[in-house]
Amino acid sequence: MTTQAPKKPVIVVGSGLAGLSAAHEALRAGATVRMLDRAPKPGGNSIKASSGINGAGTRFQQSLGIAKDDSFYSDTVRSAGARFAESSPPVDRKALIEILTSQSESAVNWLADELNVDLSVVAQLGGHSVPRTHRGGGKLPPGAAIVSALLDALKANSNFSLENSADVVELLSGDGAVKGVSYQVADGQPHELEGPVVFAAGGFAGDAHGLLSKYRPDLAGIPSTNEARPASHGLLSAVRASFVDMDSVQIHPTGFVDPKDPGSAYKFLAAEALRGEGGILLSAEGKRFINELQTRDVVSAAIMALPHTTVEKTRQWEVTLLLDPGACEATTSHIGFYLWKGLVQKKKVRDLAPEVIASVDKYATLVSENGEDELGRKAFGHWKLPPGEANRDEEVCVGTVTPVVHFTMGGVTFDSQARVLRPKEGGGLVPIPGLWAAGEITGGIHGANRLGGSSLLECAVFGRIAGAEAAKSLTNA
């Protein structure tokens, strides 16, 4: 008799939505999955995602009367800006965006139908032509709801294992291919694991003194929604992976300034859904100054054109975010948490500064008359506050926000099969055998600016592709 060698697992590095999605598809294809994450708890940044996941053509959109949504691709291209036309390195941006947008409905259906995630609430975020960002109506934010459902499903499968506090220190390679990983756990001893690798370790927005300072030194001192940690990109560089758009770093326009710790370099994100559902932004003079539903880069630039302050070495712009009762009600799951954290307060309109009351009345008149906004806003969410004396005893939700370093659009180059690419002799890029990637570690999809709701989406779409392709490589070996 001959003994058969044990089947190699698909190795997934990172436990955010990209890694979890990859693991789910690899298991579906019959593979065993070993997931490694250096963090002590699973979920990555995905578990903190607060606005939702994009989907075009979903039944949830149709229930709102949106019979057809054929503008997601063009919205994404427009948001990517001039970067979409760049051809060096030769990344097929068009193909990546086509996959992202065309598979968005199936991604939402997968989460809703197979994993029973509530995604029935649909909002319109900045840069979107129609409402297409899905979240649930319960207390859990969308990222936590999605990650929790996937973790539960994976842990119920005996072919899946998750090891936290497992720091991958090297991609093992030979004959030009990636063969596995070397990693360390609490005992500090190196461990080696062989198998195809899906790399989903996240971006570098928390690497303030490393890659972030290298590619965007101008962002020094600006607070971040990312916890401080070194980037993992060097592991990919060591196997000659190519990178793209590394200086494309997204500044999210709204991170909360905590009254208890105003100078903190770490800020809680004020979800874009707060503006999408009707919230407005006011300057120190109490005036609206930007269409709140512009793309994130445009809104951030408008805020950063205002005077700023420096608090304990942190550069910030203190702008008021105000939601009327309708917008507060539509974002109950968010507002409840922000109130508990002390990041948002409820105030009666009559207790606001006179210049703020004037702006609230002006905006309320605009909405009630369905007028033309001089700043260009066309969708007003669930704002229902009337203008004038009728609103003075109504309570509004108010918080102070500032732009924050949030997301890195740049990362490793990859193709429509989620294969990581490296330069080849004579020019061009070729796949690195044995290595796939998905999520924020990758580049080439978002260009100069990412649309809200497309981070969870890219994790789901390309994570599933990566997991399926990695599993397939085992059967083809």
Active site residues: 252, 275
DSSP state at residue 471: H
Could you please report the per-residue DSSP string of 320-358?
A: EEEE-HHHHHHTHHHHHHHHHHTS-EEEEGGGS-HHHHH
Could you please report the per-residue DSSP string of 80-137?
A: HGGGGG--SS---HHHHHHHHHHTHHHHHHIIIIIS-----EEE--TT-SS--EEE-S
Q: Which residues contact 113 (CB under 8 A, 6 or more apart)?
A: none
User: Amino acid letter at 74?
Assistant: S
170 backbone dihedrals φ, ψ, rounded to 5°: -160, 140
466 backbone dihedrals φ, ψ, rounded to 5°: -60, -45
CA atoms within 13 A on the CB side of 329: 10
> Which three-class secondary structure state does DSSP give residue 73?
helix
User: Strand 197-199 relative to strand 429-437: parallel, antiparallel, unpaired?
Assistant: parallel
Q: What's the token pair of residue 426? A: 């004579």
Bridge partners, residue 170, by sequence = 182
Q: Which residues contact 280 (CB under 8 A, 6 or more apart)?
A: 288, 292, 321, 322, 323, 359, 363
Q: Where would I find the H helices in 110-232?
A: 142-155, 211-215
Cα dihedral 82, 306, 45, 241 sign: positive
DSSP state at residue 447: T
Cα angle value 102/299/333 (rounded, 5°): 70
CB of 355 closer than 8 Å to CB of 286: yes
User: Amino acid letter at 258?
Assistant: D
DSSP state at residue 47: G
